[in-house]
Amino acid sequence: MNPRFPPEIFDLFIGALAADHQNPTRIASLKSCSLVSKSFSYSARIHIFSTIVYRGFTLDRVIVPMKMNVLDALRMAIERDSHLAANVRRFEIHLRHKFERDSGETIEGIRAARTCLTRITRALVRAAKQHPSGSKLDTMQLEASGQHAPVPDFSQFWRALGRSYTITTLNLRCIPSFPIHFFIRALPCLQKLEIWRCDLIWSPELPSLLNSNEQELACPLELYVDISMALFYQKPEYGIVDNLRRLLSKLETLQFRSQRSHSMVHANIIKLCKSSLRALTLTADVNFLENLPVSQLLPTLNLGTLSDLQSLSFEIHRCILHCRSWVKVISELLIRASTTQIKAISIHIFPVAASKSYASEITPREYQEDDEAWQMLDAALVRPEFSALRTVDVRFFWPWLENEVPPDAFLPWTSFRPTLPLLYATLSESLRIKHCHKSG
């Protein structure tokens, strides 16, 4: 290879390859590049080590030693080369351990893995001190099996990570007894927080956040959460609401993904950040209650009280036969609103198939009710209270390719296209109604 070939060209080539996160062979390709030459090797290794992902052991006695060897090799590489450690951008720990039967050898392996992960964390902290201007870690993800929380094992070193790096994104999944107050204090630069299926706790003996220095506490700008936050809000510990208000004081983007009816609590949580909230997304999952009464969608919330709200979105993952009910629910929420500053509203429907026998019993009245639901929405959106509205986006995301024949359970609805004539007269081309299909 020409020794005068600019090394920057190598970096551009490797960087383009590493940036293609949708490519399933991305890591394998980077490993191959690392074997081409010394120039390729170091650049490729930097990208290979940019993400550290540990996935918990199974009870398989053969797989455990193999995983432990890989983890130990990773630890040694990180400890030997502080430049590699300083270039780590994402650190994920998935502790999916299940002790369903006596497996002493496996338990010992898990303990060894946690020790190894602790040493990796120490190496990351040391690297940040050695290369303060080149430290890149900004994303962490913690996931447990619902049986064992990783936080007690690593809390000391994660606090050190929070002091050493600008960690802006935290994703928490399936963690029991998670001390949310710990991360509020440990990661003061946090901007994006995702919480799914966690049991959040607050220790009442801890000092209130209200008495803390603002620079020492996390105030995320984005929050994506399921019922975990609603369950936490309802706990009896003193001061939870006040401390939540402090945590959400700068929140601009909020998404609630509901799996059962906690609309009243969600409405109360939204009120805690009403002075800063700019984008709100409400998602109805397939597990949400089928027969949810119209009045139960944020029943105590007036959208007009969210003075800075500019974007309102709905994602409906429901049986196709119940989508009309959700259109009515959305309409009722909009009708209750006083004057708003909302500029964009989107309603994205991801239909779930009904059974074939159920679909075959559809009557003309079903289609009439569909039309009535959309007429109700049309009337709600042209009220003077929504005079700031500039765009409305309605989309149906069908789970088949565009050139495929739809399943029988969907056939009656594939040609349905709401017209919203009143809204069209107001917005014209800014009203988008589309049928979308999955890509090949």
pLDDT per residue over 269-325, tens digit each? 898 988 899 999 988 765 544 444 444 677 778 898 898 999 999 998 877 777 788
pLDDT at position 289, please?
45
Please check whether residue 113 is in contact with residue 54, taking contact to mean a CB–CB distance below 8 angstroms.
yes
Q: How many domains does the chain divide into? A: 2
The predicted pLDDT at position 227 comes to 84
- pLDDT number for residue 288: 47
In a domain, 439, yes or no: yes
> Is 322 part of any domain?
yes
Q: How is residue 268 written in tokens?
A: 């109360």
Q: Residue 75: phi, psi to the nearest 5? A: -60, -45
Amino acid 187 reads: L
Cβ atoms within 10 Å of 77's Cβ, excluding its own: 16
Nearest one of 383, 371, 374 to 342, comparing CA atoms: 383
- C-alpha 290/C-alpha 107 separation (Å) is 42
Q: At what angle do helices 7-19 and 38-48 cross, to 10 degrees?
A: 30
Residue given tokens 């270039």 in the structure block = 87
Instruction: Examine residue 183 and state whether it is found in any structural domain, yes or no.
Output: no
**Tell me, what amino acid is at 289?**
L
Query: In 3-state terms, what secondary structure has residue 346?
Result: strand
What confidence tens digit (pLDDT) does each residue in 159-207 have? 888 888 889 999 998 888 888 887 888 888 999 999 998 888 877 655 5
Residue 73 lies in a domain: no
Collapsing DSSP states into helix, strand and coil, what is residue 196? Answer: strand
- The candidate with the shortest Cα–Cα distance to 193, out of 157, 153, 150, 229, is 229
Give the per-residue pLDDT at 388. 94
Q: Is 412 within a domain?
A: yes
CB 292 within 8 A of CB 329: yes
Instruction: Identify the pLDDT of residue 100.
Output: 46
CA 302 vs. chain centroid, Å, equals 26
The pLDDT value given to residue 386 = 95
Number of Cβ within a 10 Å radius of residue 184: 22
Closest C-alpha to 170, from 117, 124, 230, 224: 224
Within-domain flag for 44:
yes
In a domain, 345, yes or no: yes
Non-local CB neighbours of 411 within 8 Å, separated by 6+ positions: 359
355 C-beta neighbours (distance < 10 Å), count: 12
Q: CA distances (Å), 32 to each of 19, 26, 81, 177, in order?
A: 16, 10, 20, 43
Structural domain for 288, as ranges: 273-440
173 falls within a domain? no
Residue 184's closest CA among 132, 249, 105? Answer: 249
List the chain residues with pLDDT less than 50.
1, 99-102, 149-150, 152, 288-295
